[in-house]
Structure 1
Amino acid sequence: MVAACTLAVLGTLVPLGDDAASSAATDRGPAARAGYAAATDDAACTGPVRSLDPAKGSVDGAAVARIKAHGKLVVGVDQNSYLWGFRDPATGDFAGFDIDIVKAIAKDILGDENAVQYLTVPTAGRIDAIKSHKVDMVVRTMTVNCERAADVAFSTAYFTAGQQILTADPAITGFDDSLNGKRVCTATGSTGDDELKKGAHGATVVPVDNQLDCLVLLQLREADAVFTDNALGAGQAAQDPNVHLAGHPVTSEPYGVAMNLADTDLVRRVNKVLAAYRTDGRWTASYNHWLQPHLPGMKPPAPLYQ
């Protein structure tokens, strides 16, 4: 519990310099979206959102030039998700599976994995931060789906998780009617929030800005369960042995790097980095270090290109 609460209170913004904001590019809206993905809403989407093939366009255009001119990759991250994106209490530095990917991208574009300017963003603020160019990208356990692809461009998926119940209550067996009369916490703007809006099995939904706040509410007995990606839930169970994942995942949550719709060269550049990252051992090394003990048997998802 101490570790969880320690991480939770660190949810403050890491400020950006004015030069990052002044370099903002214009979001071209529908035109850029049409060039990124043909399916942009739930009604039209009949399969996974596909990303831009790095072999079919520039990987060193205006967006990459902007990052090089700034000298830093400005990235929206989480600092509260243990194993994924968190501040190491021993060093104060960002660490986790997502952070390893950030470093790989920075190394490829700028030649230095530490040439990163981190900005912590709440779940509900991720898309706004990208559209306004407060960040070059968000790497924050962000699920790729058709609704979000209407607003931001995604890389190919680098991990696949699923929504699942986290609880300490032995009477709760999963995302089912055992939630009737219970209080279920989820992060506003998350895919868990979307799923609960479809049907909460009689539970009262307790919304929070940052997902880790749910674990604190669970520990304070102000919530009975958490509905979140099992990848995040596994990290919380690692922090608190009194809680566990219950039932089975009820959704498929492919995580991708999110970028501005106009930054097509950056999307392709990130996809180029991820293609190498999956196959040269770095994905496996990061997974074994951070996730394998808690989410065994996972493999990098195959890239899906347009």
Structure 2
Amino acid sequence: MTGHRSRRIRRAGILLACTALILTACGTTRSPLPFNPAPRPAENASPTPQASTQQPNRNCTDPRRSLRPHGPLPTPGNIPAGVLPAAVLKNRYLRVGVPTDAVLLGAMNWNTLQLEGFDIDMAKQVAKAIFGTDEGRIQFRAVTTDGRIPALENDDVDLVVATMTITCDRWQKVDFSSVYYESGQKLLVQQDAGFAGIADLAGRKICAASGSTSLRTITRLVPTAIRVEVPNATDCLVDLQRGQIDGISTDDVILAGMAEQDPTTVIVGSKLSDEPYGMAVKAGNEEFVRFINAALEKMRTDGTWKKIYQRWLGKLGDASPPTATYQD
């Protein structure tokens, strides 16, 4: 191992350890971030919206189909009763499970000691839709890939915005918003490894996150590959640098963040799957889903989505917000 690579690995390990320490110290895992008192968002509530007879997407044939908004996004302070989860009303802030080590999506800025990225900004827009501002009104909590659904089921968070692919299996456990980002699974390897695509890794070690859709795709396409599972896909990068694995296969936008951290790596091959991202809430919060979808519709039409995309992902090429599809 070269001295340069050894130093890079040590730095990566130190950054991961420091991230965990700072997230705990800042209260992003349990205690709320500081905030200024403000009226509860439902104090001036309009009448409760008429209950819908449409059931969530449990009998799923198209996982992208979410619940249609009741209309335009209501203004903060005029959100109808029964829309927001009880915990949001009680706490007066939004608890959001996010990635915290995924560059471009959700990672620590060591200059500001703030989380930043595409998913972080998307979550802030939901808090802004509720409270009129996201400042002091959002509490970020680190979630692993396999821990996203349990965090919702255990009421540890109100919302998950964490590169979560919408699938029919997951619809059985949580409720999803409409698609807010279209990703696709690819492969990351060392530049000098000589691999051109995932088929070249038959019998070799491929790393992905536990509980991810990526693992199923790896098994389907390369059944002889040796799957290496880690809590988060970004944990694979140090293993790749150490030569303990041969490749990382996960969503292309996550791999782009890894490649930005380590220029000796490269994304190769064609797209292996479609990975539509959705915001997830605890099952049974249908009205909250409709509210989130109204917020997403506003972001699509007023240019907010495009602005957030350009800020974090513009280097990946031009893109437009995904078109929403609904089941009702």
| Length-normalised TM-score, structure 1 | 0.87
Please give the secondary structure, in 2, of the residue aligned with 1:134. coil
SS in structure 2 at match of 1:135: coil
Could you say which residue in structure 1 is the equivalent of 2:321? 300
Cα shift readout 1:206-250 (whole Å, capped 9, x = no counterpart): 110111110111111111100110010011111111111110111
CA 1:7–1:248: 2 relative to 1, 3 Å:
farther
Q: 1:90 aligned to 2:104?
A: no
Q: Pairwise mapping of residues 1-306 of structure 1 onto structure 2 (< 5 A)?
A: 1=8, 4-9=12-17, 10-11=19-20, 14-17=28-31, 35-40=55-60, 45=61, 47-55=62-70, 60-62=80-82, 64=84, 66=86, 67-114=88-135, 115-168=137-190, 169-176=192-199, 178-293=200-315, 295-306=316-327
CA distance in 1 between counterparts of 2:227 and 2:250 reads 12
- Matches of 1:296 and 1:6, distance apart in 2: 32
Letter aligned with residue 106 of structure 2: G
Q: Specify the structure having the higher radius of gyration (Cα).
A: 2
Deviations 1:16-70 (A, max 9, x none): 249xxxxxxxxxxxxx9x8111534xxxx2x343111112799634351621331
The structure with higher relative contact order (CA 8 Å, sep 6+) is 1
Query: For residues 12 and 276 of structure 2, what CA distance do their matches in structure 1 show?
Result: 25
Rounded Cα–Cα distance in structure 2 between residues aligned with 1:94 and 1:4: 17
Contact 1:154 1:258 in 2 (8 A): yes
Shift of 1:15: 2.6
What's the CA shift for 1:5?
Answer: 4.1
Residues 65/254 of structure 1: CA separation in 2 closer, same or farther (3 Å cut)? closer
| Counterpart residue identity of residue 112, structure 1 | T
Task: Provide structure 2 residue ranges, at least 5 long, that are not aligned to the other structure.
Answer: 1-7, 33-51
Query: In the TM superposition, what is the alpha-carbon distance from 1:288 to its structure 2 partner?
Result: 0.9
Contact 1:4/1:239 (<8 A) preserved: no
Question: Distance between the aligned counterparts of 1:240 and 1:156, measured in 2?
Answer: 33
Rounded to whole Å, the distance in 1 between the matches of 2:85 and 2:204 is 51
Q: Identify, as 1 or 2, the structure richer in strand.
A: 2
Deviation at 1:104, TM superposition (A): 0.5
In 1, distance between residues paired with 2:167 and 2:237? 26
Q: Which string of whole-angstrom CA distances, capped at 9 and with x for unpartnered residues, describes residues 97-132 of structure 1?
A: 001111111011012212111110111010111112
Structure 1: state its 5+ residue gaps.
19-31
TM-score normalized with structure 2 length: 0.81
Instruction: Show structure 1 runs of 4+ deviating over 6 A.
Output: 56-59
User: Aligned-residue CA RMSD in angstroms?
Assistant: 2.3
